[in-house]
Each structure stands twice: as C-alpha cells, then as structure tokens.
C-alpha cells in the first residue's frame, strides 16, 4: 500500500504550525515528523521556525511558528479531523481555555490548493492569513509565486512595506 491515497487527486496544502508551551521547538519538529509519517500525507518541505508575539490579545508566552507544505488526497474536512486528532493526542485541550490562548501545538490549514471554502468548522483560505505577517513571510519563502485563491493576488503582496 502506498503512503498517499492515490484514488483521489492530491492537493497542495500549507499548514501553519505553532506552539508556546513546553519545548516549543520539539513540539513543532514532532508535528512535522507526524505529518511526514502520515499515510495520507506527504511532507514536501517546511519553512524556518521563527519566534513570534502572541496574537489575539491574551497574555501568554511567545510562540514558535513554522509552515509546512504537504500534498494529500484527503478532503479539507478529513484533513481538519486528522490535524485536530493529532493536537488532542499530544495534549491540546480543544474545549477549554481562551480561543487564542496558550497551546502545546496548533495546526491550521492555511491554503488547500486553489479551494475557497466556508463552513461552520473550517474556512479556507485561513480567515486571518493576510493579517499575520509572519505567516505571509513563511509562505513567500516556501513559494514566492503563491496565489491567494480568494483574491487572486500574490500572497506576498500582503506583506506590509516598512
């Protein structure tokens, strides 16, 4: 049996990975190994791991963040279920605490091929993608020609000029 599901067309997906509790770097590296070893995904590459300020107004430790590029035959909802299952398996409590509070690990679908999706559980592209400078930089570093499927603009065009 092959590692990737060949009965479906594989999509190119970008996943944001963050942690601000415990050994943050080890948690991100473990998440990347999990993505790499998953039978329904193929890890193509990852961005540099960078330290960022917390987002969302909750007082908490700084984050380490990375972006992973994968290919998968999973549908968006199936991928989301896999990511949330992984988060729970490494100790993240998805039901308690503030929405943008501290977390052991956070895996967010940023882009899923050229899909635009809005449901009760999932919005693609990620609804705050263009507000997070560090994510835009990491995406640009992985693919400078990456297009935001919701707007048709280069993802890098959302970088603030300073």
Token reading at 56: 């969302």
88 is catalytic: no
93 is catalytic: no
Active-site entry in 24, 62, 99, 103: 103
106 is catalytic: yes
Write the burial class of residue 117 (CB in 10 Å: 0-12 exposed, 13-18 middle, 19+ buried): middle
Active-site entry in 24, 42, 93, 108: 108
Q: Which residues pair with 111 in a beta bridge?
A: 14
The 3-state DSSP class for residue 18 equals: strand
Contacts of 15 (CB under 8 A, 6+ apart): 35, 67, 68, 69, 70, 83, 107, 108, 109, 110
25 is catalytic: no
Q: Which residues are marked as active site?
A: 92, 103, 106, 108
């Amino acid at each position: 049996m092959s590692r990737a599901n060949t009965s479906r067309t594989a999509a190119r997906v970008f996943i944001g990975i963050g942690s601000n509790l415990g050994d943050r770097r080890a948690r991100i590296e473990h998440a990347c190994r999990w993505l790499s070893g998953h039978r329904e995904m193929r890890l193509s590459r990852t961005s540099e791991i960078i330290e960022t300020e917390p987002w969302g107004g909750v007082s908490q430790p700084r984050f380490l963040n990375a972006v992973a590029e994968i290919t998968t035959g999973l549908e968006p909802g199936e991928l989301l279920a896999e990511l949330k299952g992984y988060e729970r398996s490494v100790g993240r409590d998805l039901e308690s605490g503030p929405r943008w509070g501290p977390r052991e690990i956070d895996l967010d679908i940023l882009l899923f091929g050229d899909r635009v999706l809005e449901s009760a559980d999932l919005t693609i592209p990620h609804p705050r993608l263009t507000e997070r400078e560090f994510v835009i930089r990491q995406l640009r570093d992985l693919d400078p020609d990456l297009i935001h499927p919701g707007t048709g603009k280069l993802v890098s065009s959302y970088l603030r000029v300073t």
